[in-house]
Amino acid sequence: MTTFVLVPGAWKGSWSFETVVPLLERAGHTVHALTLTGLRPDDDAATVATANLDTHAGDVLRHLDAHHITDGTLVGHSYAGMVVAAAADRAGGRISRLVHLDAYVPRDGDSCWSSTNEHFRRVFAAGAAATGYAVRPPDGGDPRRRPHPLASFLQSIRLTGAFARVPRREFVYCSGWEDRTPFADLRTRLLADPGWQVHDLPTGHDAMHEAPEAVAALLLGGDRTPEPSARPDQPL
């Protein structure tokens, strides 16, 4: 039995995995879907303003501690690729598999800001203009999305090398939004790295809702994934 820890991307909470969790649980696995600090409905302005990448990595590590997880599969979507990389680097060998689901895969010193493209830098800057510390969600998309702590996009990650020693590391590239994706060059980089396994999904960025069966199949380690149903793309 596998223990999955699912970490949502920018502006989202545990609900972003709501269609995938039951598929994994039905297969007999334990699943924890997290909501990061600053994204919870009852978080106040001060909490949002002070939350950064270290805060979010700490959320994951505290969850591992609280649930005595010592052999976990850590899944990060989008921005949360930064989070799961930082957490795995500090987890002391408690992560046996990393899955970056259309997500950033940083090197030491990278930030979400430095790793993304100009489209999303404009989204971040415009979204933070009202408060200076919280990035409002882009227009459209799920109404449950919340303003995201700006500091978490800007903080550089510090990696000791332990992240690269996680036994199984996978990257899932969603090819259905190639006009805006910041991950095309990353896919090329990881295809050339023998330490990574790269999967392609013909979906938009929000693969968990567009094609939950396909995402679950990848997480369950299947060799084949179902064809996704056609649904509109969602923002990062």
- What is the sign, positive or negative, of the torsion defined by CA atoms of 216, 219, 225, 228? positive
pLDDT of the residue at 228: 43
Query: For the packed helices 80-90 and 53-66, what is the interaxial angle rounded to 10 degrees?
Result: 60
pTM of the predicted model as reported, rounded to 2 decimal places: 0.93
The tens place of each residue's pLDDT in the chain, 236 residues long, gives 999 999 999 999 999 999 999 999 999 999 999 999 999 999 999 999 999 999 999 999 999 999 999 999 999 999 999 999 999 999 999 999 999 999 999 999 999 999 999 999 999 999 999 999 999 999 988 999 999 999 999 999 999 999 999 999 999 999 999 999 999 999 999 999 999 999 999 999 999 999 999 999 999 994 343 344 333 334 45
Q: Quick: pLDDT tens for 37-80.
A: 999 999 999 999 999 999 999 999 999 999 999 999 999 999 99
CB atoms near residue 200 (< 10 Å): 12
- Report the distance separating Cα 135 and Cα 110, nearest Å: 20
**Structural domains of the chain in order of their starting residue, each with its CATH number:** 3-219 (3.40.50.1820)
